[in-house]
Chain A
């Protein structure tokens, strides 16, 4: 479903701040794969997701989504295939607009914006049903401005928007990192359910090793813009924090810096 071939990306080339953020990255996701992504701060996790989304052009390499070469497509065109949730709850929604208006914008992802009315009656019912599944009381607040919602509510809404039209690939970038632990667990649970129900192919970046182990059928570790660990199948199912740390020590030849890798 997703293929990254030898992807390179350098920021601020030829300056003192030059940063080779993606360094010949290769990744192949099968349809239905739900891969969690871990790696230290600055390892290139967000950069990988941004490369897939087309936030900027990559320097070298190829990106294929469901067999289609999207390397040269601008961000807004690739969006047709992608659902995205960002770390910052502010980034996924339009603050000054209503919940239903945000959902209506998302329902039309990949379609031309016409002069038809922005929202229909049938849609509203659909939104109400979907919001009910979140169990956050949003189903009665269709016309509330999104700016009034809490961070957790906004992330749950963004998740709904990202999957309203079934994406070929769902990209979650530390989407629970800015939430309190209880809300984070709830949003993670919703993510799990939506991915399972729709049999989505997904990449989920997380700083939490336990979450990375618990969720998905595959675990990928990034370091210096390359994938240094790719664990799947039975091995992934039987993974524990201890043997993950041990594996890391082998491939990286060093102890895993635990400052940002939350084990709790």
Chain B
């Protein structure tokens, strides 16, 4: 059980990077960007090709980030320059990337067994021996530590970036484009930057996930946007959005919580093939929460109103 939870947390940390990417577009820019389904694989593919070619896995992960920036640029240009609606721009990039990803990998999947990954050096640390003797899967511990490091670096970077003049203009663009243009900012550029950053993070996350699962597969992105949204919403609902720090923390905790939930329902005997259905239903319910709340409130009011009216009109004789 400990190993299951540990595995879920470490995997959650890798997905947390992706979740922060989705947060940038979905919450800060107010765009549902579907290109991430392709970008995640592009990142995985870049990383896998680089690593199997004997390259340094950290540099491979960084190359994935660069590839992601490029993917975001494509979606951004489709949307801002060609005026294609954001949702459709994302879908176009996603579809196009399917072919591009096959080109990058040269085949449908690449295995990463027996190769040096970003987790390998940490797994070789001396104290790992002791943990292994206690029955703990040391690979999970290595992923956990690496994931934690990456998540902290990304969080600090995002906190800084969105605190600058530029980052603040990007956030404002997601709020009110007309106002931002009236303040002399090119909103197209802001949307481009936001989409690039988002897709860069998603691709980096993809490279890390591929190294974790020891393969990169052209299908691995399917449904990832829904997983990202689920993590964003779970994070916000359970862990709050008080400040930007809190939001970033909530994204990571949301991604981890999602992975723990999945691990537990699988352990409880759910068919792995039903996972995507389960996730989609969870997200639909979460997105509908405000509606439920409003409905509940009116229901409560309408139930209270006659009671109150009755009291007021009660004969006082």
Taking Cβ atoms with an 8 Å cutoff, the residues of A that contact B are 53, 74-77, 79-80, 82, 84, 86, 90-97, 101-102, 104-106, 108-111, 113-118, 161-162
Interface contacts beyond A80-B184, A94-B171, A105-B169: sample of 20 additional A-B pairs, CB < 8 Å, sorted by A: A76-B184, A76-B186, A77-B184, A79-B184, A86-B178, A91-B178, A93-B179, A94-B172, A94-B179, A102-B172, A105-B172, A106-B183, A110-B184, A113-B169, A114-B164, A115-B161, A116-B164, A116-B165, A117-B164, A118-B165
Bound-state Cα–Cα, A80 to B183, Å: 7
- Residue B93, interface by CB 8 Å: no
Q: How far is the CB of A170 from chain B (nearest CB, A)?
A: 12
Q: Show 18 residue pairs from A and B whose CB-CB distance is below 8 angstroms, ordered by the A residue.
A: A76-B185, A79-B184, A91-B179, A92-B179, A94-B176, A94-B179, A95-B175, A97-B168, A102-B172, A104-B168, A105-B172, A105-B180, A109-B183, A109-B184, A114-B166, A118-B163, A118-B167, A118-B168
Tell me whether B182 is interfacial, beta carbon within 8 Å.
Answer: yes
A94 to B172, CA, bound (A): 6
Chain B interface residue bracket vs A = 20 to 34
B175: chain A residues at CB < 8 Å are 94-97
Contact pick for B168, options A77, A84, A101, CB 8 Å: A101
Residues on B with C-beta less than 8 A from A93 are: 176, 179
Pair A82/B165 contact, Cβ less than 8 Å: no
Q: How far is the CB of A205 from chain B (nearest CB, A)?
A: 16
Closest 5 CB pairs of A and B: A79-B184, A94-B175, A118-B168, A94-B172, A113-B165
Chain B hits for A82, CB < 8 A: 182
CB neighbours (8 Å) of A113 from chain B are 164-166, 168-169, 185
Residue of chain A at shortest CB distance from B161: A115
Q: In the assembly, what is the distance between CA of A82 and CA of B178, in Å? A: 14
Q: Is the CB of B181 closer than 8 A to any CB of chain A?
A: yes
Give bound CA distance, A202 to B83, whole Å: 34
Query: Any chain A CB within 8 A of the CB of B187?
Result: yes
Q: Contact: B184 with A117, CB < 8 Å?
A: no
Chain B hits for A109, CB < 8 A: 183-184
CA distance A117 to B162 in the complex (A): 9
Say whether chain B's binding surface is mostly helix, strand, loop, or mixed: helix
Q: State whether B182 touches A84 (Cβ < 8 A).
A: yes
Q: How far is the CB of B232 from chain A (nearest CB, A)?
A: 15
Beyond A91-B176, A105-B168, whether A76 also contacts B163 by CB under 8 A is no
Question: Judging by beta carbons under 8 Å apart, are A97 and B184 in contact?
Answer: no
Q: How far is the CA of A223 from the CA of B161 in the complex (A)?
A: 49
A114 and B165 form a contact (CB under 8 A):
yes
Q: Which residues of the other chain, B, contact A118 by a CB distance below 8 angstroms? A: 163-165, 167-168
A113 to B169, CA, bound (A): 8
Please indicate the chain A residues that have their CB under 8 angstroms from the CB of B165 in the complex: 104, 108, 113-118
Cβ of A104 to closest chain B Cβ, rounded Å: 7
Task: Name which residue of chain B comes closest to A96, CB basis.
Answer: B175
Give chain B nearest CB distance to A169 CB in angstroms. 13
CA distance A104 to B185 in the complex (A): 13
* Cα A114 to Cα B187 with chains together (Å): 15
Q: Check A94–B180 contact: CB distance below 8 A.
A: yes
Residues of A within 8 A of B178 (CB): 86, 91
Complex CA distance for A233 and B307, rounded to whole angstroms: 66
Q: How far is the CA of A53 from the CA of B178 in the complex (A)?
A: 11
Alpha-carbon distance between A84 and B161 when the two chains are bound, in angstroms: 28
The docked-state distance in angstroms from the alpha carbon of A26 to that of B172 is: 35
Bound Cα distance from A84 to B176, whole angstroms = 14
CB closest residue in chain B, given A105? B183
Which residues of chain B come closer than 8 Å to A80, judged between CB atoms?
A: 184
